[in-house]
Structure 1
Amino acid sequence: MSAHAHGPRQGGHLIDHFEEGAIALILGAMTVITFINVVLRYLFNSALIWGLELTSILFAWLVILGVSYAFKKTAHLGVDALINIAPPSSRRLLAIISALACVIYALLLMKGAWDYWAPYAALERTSGHWFPTGFEKTRDQAWYETDQVPMLWIFSWLEPLINQGEAYDKLPRVIPYFILPFGVALIVLRVTQATLRVISGRQESLIVSHEAEDDVERVAAANQE
């Protein structure tokens, strides 16, 4: 009974805090790679030739994961001038409308993310201009590789699966570009969760409220003392 009771809860807990762990790991990896490159360059006149490209890839992952994390923490900035001058009775309705608009926009991003990534995974793009209406024949681009990042043996299973058994000399682009459908799916999840909180009245809006300004002023005043 205990295993059944705690299993789903633990799984939900891991999903809920996924961005925090991933962001911490990415920041740590970027710091280590950059530090090693600085040491190699200034002490040994050498460098990790793939260091800059890998750091750029990790930064892209960091940004996209950060978007979903900010929705979860209600940390996105926004313009609330119109909301603030609206009567209190209308503010919740405006917040719900804006939240639903964000959900629709996130779904549009999901289609675009899949359509961009799919050819690199030897998959088909979706048809339809705005929302997917099916799948359409797509030119296979699974053979595309990164410029400098070496191929890792843990991804060798991709070669017979999507590259017709041919070995990759460098890391295939399908790996770093995977952040697009995966990260946007997280954004859809977090925006939907935040929208449900707005509808239920547990959250005012999707953006940081003006109370953040009070916190900044409070910290500034404390530093002047």
Structure 2
Amino acid sequence: MSDHHLSDSVLGRVVNEIEETAIAVILGLMTIITFINVVLRYGFNTGIIWGLEATTFLFAWLVLFGVSYAVKVTANLGVDAVINLFSAPVRRFLALVAAAVFIAYGALLLKGAWDYWANFANLPRTTGRWFPTGLEEMKRTSYRGWYEVVDIPMPEWLRWIEPLMNEGEEYEKIPRFIPYFILPFGMALLLFRVVQATWRIATGRDENLIVSHEAEDAIEDVAHMNRER
């Protein structure tokens, strides 16, 4: 591995662009849909029927993108009063232990997210109780790609997935595997970010997983404002 951060690699830059672009687009879509619905409701006594469900899904996508992005920008809050009592080598060791636990936790989340999403995507779930030991045998009765959401209508430009996922039958609403895809994707991003953070600790670039000190930053901002007066 070179001296550059993992986030400076090609994969890191691609993930950065995906996260930042997705967060911006999701916020924009939520704002537009909500604004249009408010105007229609109070101005014309009508509304977009699928607006609430769409913003709910978008908010879920925003949260799950935000989980991994918070690890990337070290925005996680934590208490390090006890850790700071130890010497630098001990702090680094404790940070690596915490990172290992975080990686195991992220792997569990990814397995659970995949198994839940696969149920709606006509894909095999993993075997094994805690960590994947293989893939289950798929049967025709295992296919659940026909599950739809409640309100969001199926757009015409997505009709091409019907022969693949619904045996040629038409969807009235969008299939659930589309909005639910954020579950395994978001957990994969989280695991990637945790591995990044662990590598930074292992190579001495960071001391621990806790970098954000919101209260201290707020106090410093106020002090800086007072000095400028």
Query: TM-score normalized by structure 1?
Result: 0.90
Listed one character per residue, the Cα deviations across residues 68-121 of structure 1 (whole Å, up to 9, x for unaligned) are: 101111111123233123333311100111011111111111100100000111
Query: What is the Cα deviation at residue 164 of structure 1?
Result: 1.0
Q: Which residue is equivalent to 2:146?
A: 143
Q: Which residue is equivalent to 2:3?
A: none
% identical equivalent positions? 56
Q: Could you say what secondary structure the match of 1:142 adopts?
A: coil
How many matched pairs? 217
Give the root-mean-square deviation of aligned CA atoms.
Answer: 1.9
- 1:169 counterpart letter in structure 2: E
- 2:116 counterpart letter in structure 1: Y
Distance 1:155 1:207 in 2: 43
Mean Cα displacement is larger for which, 57-66 or 138-147? 138-147
Q: Which residue is equivalent to 1:204?
A: 207
Alpha-carbon spacing, 1:10–1:90, altered in 2? closer, same or farther (3 Å)? closer
Q: Could you say what secondary structure the match of 1:121 adopts?
A: coil
Kept after mapping to 1: 8 A contact 2:77/2:210: yes
Mean Cα displacement is larger for which, 66-75 or 138-147? 138-147
Distance 2:103 2:52 in 1: 34
Q: Which residue is equivalent to 1:67?
A: 67
Query: What is the Cα deviation at residue 166 of structure 1?
Result: 0.6
Check if 1:90 corresponds to 2:90: yes
Check if 1:193 corresponds to 2:193: no
Query: What is the Cα deviation at residue 209 of structure 1?
Result: 4.4
- 1:94 counterpart letter in structure 2: L
- 1:73 counterpart letter in structure 2: V
Q: Could you say what secondary structure the match of 2:119 adopts?
A: helix
Q: Which residue is equivalent to 2:103?
A: 103
Listed one character per residue, the Cα deviations across residues 132-171 of structure 1 (whole Å, up to 9, x for unaligned) are: 1112246221111010001112322221111111110001
Distance 1:199 1:184 in 2: 22
Alpha-carbon spacing, 1:67–1:153, altered in 2? closer, same or farther (3 Å)? same
Picking from 146, 158, 161, the partner of 1:155 is 158
Structure 1 residues not aligned, in runs of 5+: 1-8
Q: Could you say what secondary structure the match of 2:174 adopts?
A: strand
Alpha-carbon spacing, 1:131–1:11, altered in 2? closer, same or farther (3 Å)? closer
Query: TM-score normalized by structure 2?
Result: 0.88
Q: Which residue is equivalent to 2:18?
A: 18
Structure 2 residues not aligned, in runs of 5+: 1-8
Q: Which residue is equivalent to 1:125?
A: 125
Distance 1:94 1:200 in 2: 14
Kept after mapping to 1: 8 A contact 2:95/2:208: yes
